[in-house]
Structure 1
Amino acid sequence: MAAAGVLLFVAVSLACLSVSGNLVSGERSFSIDYKHNCFLKDGKPFQYISGSIHYSRIPRYYWRDRLVKMYMTGLNAIQVYVPWNFHEAVQGVHNFTGDRDLEHFLDLANQTGLLVILRPGPYICAEWEMGGLPAWLLQKPNIILRSADTDYAQAVSNWLAVLLPKMKPWLYINGGNIISVQVENEYGSYYACDYNYMRHLRTLFRFFLGEDTVLFTTDGNTDKEMTCGTLEGLYATVDFGTDTNVTEAFSRQRRFEPRGPLVNSEFYTGWLDHWGDQHAVVDAQKVSRVLGEMLTMGANVNMYMFEGGTNFGYWNGADHDTRFRSVVTSYDYDAPLSEAGDPTEKLLAIRDVIKQFRDIPSGPMPPATPKFAYGFVTLRKVGNVSSLLNTLSPLGPVKSQHPLTFEEMKQYYGYMLYRTTLPRDLSEPTPLISPLNGVHDRAYVSVNGVFRGLLERDTALVMNITGQQGDTVDILVENMGRVNFGSKINDYKGLLSNLILGKDVLTDWKIYPLDIDGAIAARWPHSDSRKYFPTPQKEPLPGPAIYMGTLQPNGLAWDTFLKLYEWTKGQVWINGVNLGRYWPARGPQQTLYIPGPLLSTSLPNNITVLELEGAPAHLRVLFMDRPQLSVPVQ
């Protein structure tokens, strides 16, 4: 039966390829030919072979390099997500400059010869913080995200009224390179199944982009997902990976979209990693075999990812199925282009498949960017976080009887410190409990400046402490990235409920929002370094602390990879840029990617580390010329 199905699909695709439209010379068009089951570009049958690339995960300096490599592989299109929270981190303030210059990215793709499949959300998933939705939406308690909820729908309307008019000139039919636009993303996998919401989006997209734009949906390869995710007037496509029966998957698309082109909007070339997972790998031969099978059917394929890039800063997402699991900093994805944009064996295998279906550009594949092992740098301690609050929280604390969340404090990412005092003497170890699993996501507990341990969401809900009445209790809480998929994307951060110490509810809090990024962007602590001297001690004391050092210039600004061997968990900045989280103890990722353009060839390169649990005695970090993403998890 499968073979017969393939022959049917091949016959359909060949019929499509035999069509030729009559088009006025010079007129640009992109449409769906339902009669012949294909796309038409300028009136002629068109099959796209596309790859996903996220401008938000790649420094602007490298956009052209990555796009050229995709073009030279034989792709004729790219697929691009627009993360709403990347452009509107503060409600009503829109940023489309620098690494957020979406139109510059589209222009580079156009210059390179690549068409664009645009995925503007408003929800994107993408293993990105909160699936691309801005955390400020959570200021309304009980908001129902991704639904016709009035506040959510209004915020979406406001955002799309900014974004979509910027995109309209870039539509292929208007002289640009955007051939199709996705509405929402994998909506069928969300519990709400709110058709009024999808109708609202369809109305907005049509209003801002016009009636002639090809709008589509993408959903997982199940009946339930296709039922809730599709809507009349939006072309229904599917996504699936190498372990799926291709004929069955496209048969499901056919049940929801009886006529038109076959489309796999996300063909998985690899997969993501969570902290504590084994590093995901998908076999290159499997990828090329299934790709060839789909292209033979005449299907349109987008490979997700073609280059993954990096979750710099706090942009990684998280999953919550049975428990909370945070996505690692690297978004290498075992993709055809590595995290650093280097061609892989998988890319060459894919190019060999594409050669069988279309002429690919002549000339050499651009090489990997140069890498350099700068060697060891020894850091020195600046101080414990609790002793640096004047610098890290310049506006001082907010006082509250009960803990406030990150969202209530309007501090959406990073870290916040909660301070109170012991209500009585505790001579015996006394349990500190988060009874409602209210620590989101990890809390580092100190008493009078001495680190006592940690509480972790879903994992460690109780620990013991001792002390005297009036002792200072500091609880540094880390937001490890909001859930990006499923029903739990309303992911509030901080202390969401009271903590109980023995028989007492802890109250009278001072809550310090920490602007560590702001301080470091202003060149602290290096601008103040004369204040800081290494404390003479054999072992650095455990607990949250800041460390600093410099990588001396050697005339090179090449890509490199930072390894924090025997450091425990934390965050790293180079020259004020937040590289992301490290957690070698949990793995699998052991190195952080540093793009060469972040480094100075002539000035000392400032390294700042926030270590949350415990630094090694040697206080060294190592700059290597290759990544380590797959060290086995303990």
Structure 2
Amino acid sequence: MGTAILCLLLVCCFCDQVQGDPSFTIDYTRDCFLKDGSCFRYISGSIHYFRVPPIYWKDRLLKMYMTGLNAIQVYVPWNFHEPQPGMFNFDGDRDLEHFLDLTVELGLLVILRPGPYICAEWDMGGLPAWLLHKKNIALRTSDPDYLNAVDSWLSVLLPKIRPRLYCNGGNIISLQVENEYGSFHACDYSYLRHLQTIFRVYLGDDVVLFTTDGNTNKELKCGTLQGLLATVDFGPVDNATKAFKLLRRVQPRGPLVNSEYYTGWLDYWGEKHASSSAEQVSRGLQDILETGASVNMYMFEGGTNFGYWNGADFKNTYKPITTSYDYDAPMTEAGDPTDKLMAIRSIISKFRSVPEGPFPPPTPKYYYGLVSLNKIGDLVDFLDVFSRGEPFVTQYPITFEDVKQVFGFVLYRTHLPFDIPFFIPLSSQLNGVHDRAYISVGGRFYGVLERDSISDVNVTGNAGEWLDVLVENMGRINFGADVNDFKGLVGNLTLGGDILTDWVMYSLDIDGPIAAGWPYVPDNHIRMNPQWQSRTGATFYSGTFQITAVGDTFLKLSKWTKGQVWINGFNVGRYWPARGPQITLYVPSNILSLSQPNRITILELERAPDWPIAVFLDRPILNGTLPRR
């Protein structure tokens, strides 16, 4: 430890207990938590403030309280708060302290999971992509480069948490150290001990620290550490007694905790919408509570992966996660109570009193109808608008990380080296495109290269024409050994049998100009150029609509293929109805305006419909899986 940390140990006052002061500890004799000296168990639910608009934080928390929960569990995503090294953001939708203030106001305790790694099906599991600027960094290990970054982050975050500890008069009763580390290949106990030391330095010896792991011997062996409370996670299909029996092998005494009781599951693009019945989930919850264990339901409300924040899994192939993180949870993506919530409330009422009074109603939803859109132009027509500085010139392709691009899109361009009168394949090596590449020659769109799926596209063209390869980052892997997930062209492309060289790379910032009001011309001033009539390839569309009442709504893009949507400059997220299962995008009321026209801007990446329209519905469609394209 550095001198500064040792000094902190000497000068910081932590939870110095005086008789009658609040306390939250563990009684290993009676196998329970002690809250103010009495045995206590929590019934909690997970909510992610970073997936819910701040205007709705209180609404969601109130509904959790009214369900009968006495605690909530929440992650803190490092990359959400430190987007660039040393640049910290805790304002607006990142105002963690305001969110925590609301939990105090509603009388909810907090179980905090501050990382540094959180998984959460969030981009790179919450780790910032700028860590990959050092290509050989060993994430989630004792690698000094990684630990230095972790220590810097925790030195900012944990002092904000210290006054909020229960023993200091706050409502945070426990904190997780790392997350499901037993599922990671490194099994680096020195790393876990380092984190434990940092947490103790900033928070003191009296706060309850814990680990969470799957209920297998291997996961519990590598994920637990002496001095940290071990907890497990499992869903309703597992036997609670059997799962806790495994936990007892590594922790013979202490409270039993399921830190992630799965109320549903996440969705991947191109796969069936995940769901679980209210009866199954409530029955499993009762089984856990009958053992006397504490439990956290993951998720209680899932929320939305706005912008580019979704993560991805790698299970034999790359599997990006949908924009919706509805999770088939007790509260929907839009915060509405479900039959599953009411069934859970009924079970909780058997074990503790639930608040009386009417349950908060769903937020208003509106059908705003059809909006016509006009084609603005191809993405390559606006490189002067979206390019972040001068392009990079390189003999062979380099990655997003090499040009310090975190999310979104990078355009790779090179000239065709020879005439191609007949179709020949443009090919990538296996897994050489991370994650989708949209191929055009001379402005003519030919198709897509896709990670682990499509490795070649047939093209034609004339020598000297631009070969454009627009690469989309579809979300970094958030779980397992592959979190070092570099983006872009991670290998060479070949044309026929020739390796392509002499690339010009444009790092694109599309969000900035759109948030600032681009396109700046009114719809009725957009002139349709005859050569723009093609509706294939990366193309911008825009339109406006007015509303007479503000509420949540759901955007449906019938017959569009795949792309990104902004409303009034806010990045609503990715759409991909051609693949499903998610068909609509959740549009929260706070981004809409009554006083002026609302602008919708679309970047369609493959093919737009002949009649480019958008439809705003009053209900979501999340289970519309179509045949894979």
Tell me, yes or no, whether TM beats 0.5: yes
SS in structure 1 opposite 2:56? helix
Partner of 1:12: none
Query: Deviations 1:576-631 (Å, cap 9, x if unpaired)?
Result: 11011000010000000000111001111110000000100110010000000001
Partner of 1:603: 596
Aligned pair partner of 1:593 in 576, 582, 586:
586
Letter in 2 for 1:124: I
> Is the alpha carbon distance of 1:426 and 1:70 closer, same or farther for their aligned partners in structure 2, counting shifts above 3 Å?
same
Residues 413 and 503 in structure 2, CA contact (< 8 A), matched pair in contact too: yes
Letter in 2 for 1:580: G
2:404 aligned with 1:374: no
Query: Deviations 1:20-51 (Å, cap 9, x if unpaired)?
Result: xxx96641000001010000101111110000
Aligned pair partner of 1:621 in 608, 614, 617:
614
Partner of 2:6: none
Once residues 295 and 438 of structure 1 are traced to their aligned partners in structure 2, the CA distance between those partners, rounded to angstroms, is: 48
Query: Deviations 1:106-153 (Å, cap 9, x if unpaired)?
Result: 000110110000000100000000000000000111211100011111
Structure 2 counterparts to residues 429-448 of structure 1, below 5 A: 429-448=423-442
| Structure-2-length-normalised TM-score | 0.96
SS in structure 2 opposite 1:388? helix
2:476 aligned with 1:487: no
Partner of 1:506: 500
Partner of 1:579: 572
Aligned pair partner of 1:354 in 348, 356, 373:
348
2:206 aligned with 1:207: no
Once residues 436 and 22 of structure 2 are traced to their aligned partners in structure 1, the CA distance between those partners, rounded to angstroms, is: 53
Partner of 1:296: 290
SS in structure 1 opposite 2:55? helix
Partner of 2:224: 230
- Cα shift at 1:467: 1.1
Partner of 2:3: none
Aligned pair partner of 1:194 in 177, 185, 188:
188
Number of paired residues? 611
Query: Deviations 1:407-447 (Å, cap 9, x if unpaired)?
Result: 01101100110111001111121111112421100000000
Residues 430 and 452 in structure 2, CA contact (< 8 A), matched pair in contact too: no
> Is the alpha carbon distance of 1:537 and 1:399 closer, same or farther for their aligned partners in structure 2, counting shifts above 3 Å?
closer
Aligned pair partner of 2:299 in 295, 305, 324:
305
Once residues 526 and 269 of structure 1 are traced to their aligned partners in structure 2, the CA distance between those partners, rounded to angstroms, is: 45
Partner of 1:20: none
Residues 539 and 617 in structure 1, CA contact (< 8 A), matched pair in contact too: no
Once residues 62 and 527 of structure 1 are traced to their aligned partners in structure 2, the CA distance between those partners, rounded to angstroms, is: 33
Once residues 154 and 394 of structure 1 are traced to their aligned partners in structure 2, the CA distance between those partners, rounded to angstroms, is: 29
Aligned pair partner of 1:149 in 143, 157, 163:
143
SS in structure 2 opposite 1:66? helix
Structure 2 counterparts to residues 135-284 of structure 1, below 5 A: 135-284=129-278
> Is the alpha carbon distance of 1:538 and 1:438 closer, same or farther for their aligned partners in structure 2, counting shifts above 3 Å?
closer
SS in structure 1 opposite 2:414? strand
Once residues 56 and 355 of structure 1 are traced to their aligned partners in structure 2, the CA distance between those partners, rounded to angstroms, is: 30
Q: Is there any run of 5+ residues in structure 2 with no aligned partner, and where? A: 1-16
Q: Is there any run of 5+ residues in structure 1 with no aligned partner, and where? A: 1-22
2:125 aligned with 1:131: yes
Residues 381 and 535 in structure 1, CA contact (< 8 A), matched pair in contact too: no
- Cα shift at 1:528: 6.8
- Cα shift at 1:633: 3.0
Once residues 534 and 39 of structure 1 are traced to their aligned partners in structure 2, the CA distance between those partners, rounded to angstroms, is: 68
Letter in 1 for 2:475: G
Partner of 1:631: 624
Structure 2 counterparts to residues 454-603 of structure 1, below 5 A: 454-527=448-521, 532-536=526-530, 540-554=534-548, 556-603=549-596
Q: Which moved more, 1:499-508 or 1:102-111?
A: 499-508
Residues 523 and 543 in structure 2, CA contact (< 8 A), matched pair in contact too: no
Residues 368 and 547 in structure 2, CA contact (< 8 A), matched pair in contact too: no
SS in structure 2 opposite 1:216? strand
Residues 535 and 609 in structure 2, CA contact (< 8 A), matched pair in contact too: no
Letter in 1 for 2:455: L
SS in structure 2 opposite 1:347? helix
SS in structure 2 opposite 1:368? coil
Structure 2 counterparts to residues 37-48 of structure 1, below 5 A: 37-48=31-42
Partner of 1:327: 321
Partner of 1:73: 67
SS in structure 2 opposite 1:116? strand
2:387 aligned with 1:393: yes
Once residues 388 and 145 of structure 2 are traced to their aligned partners in structure 1, the CA distance between those partners, rounded to angstroms, is: 32
Once residues 583 and 488 of structure 1 are traced to their aligned partners in structure 2, the CA distance between those partners, rounded to angstroms, is: 25
Letter in 1 for 2:573: G
Letter in 2 for 1:582: Y
Letter in 2 for 1:508: D
SS in structure 1 opposite 2:403? coil
Partner of 1:13: none
Once residues 506 and 564 of structure 2 are traced to their aligned partners in structure 1, the CA distance between those partners, rounded to angstroms, is: 19
Once residues 591 and 22 of structure 2 are traced to their aligned partners in structure 1, the CA distance between those partners, rounded to angstroms, is: 41
Residues 235 and 261 in structure 2, CA contact (< 8 A), matched pair in contact too: yes
Residues 57 and 310 in structure 1, CA contact (< 8 A), matched pair in contact too: yes
Residues 182 and 224 in structure 2, CA contact (< 8 A), matched pair in contact too: yes
Q: Which moved more, 1:388-397 or 1:606-615?
A: 388-397
Once residues 202 and 103 of structure 1 are traced to their aligned partners in structure 2, the CA distance between those partners, rounded to angstroms, is: 23
Once residues 547 and 282 of structure 2 are traced to their aligned partners in structure 1, the CA distance between those partners, rounded to angstroms, is: 43
> Is the alpha carbon distance of 1:505 and 1:389 closer, same or farther for their aligned partners in structure 2, counting shifts above 3 Å?
same
Query: Deviations 1:314-342 (Å, cap 9, x if unpaired)?
Result: 00000111000100000000000000000
RMSD over equivalenced CA pairs, Å: 1.3
Once residues 191 and 99 of structure 1 are traced to their aligned partners in structure 2, the CA distance between those partners, rounded to angstroms, is: 34
Residues 377 and 551 in structure 1, CA contact (< 8 A), matched pair in contact too: yes
- Cα shift at 1:535: 3.9
Letter in 2 for 1:157: D
Residues 388 and 506 in structure 2, CA contact (< 8 A), matched pair in contact too: no
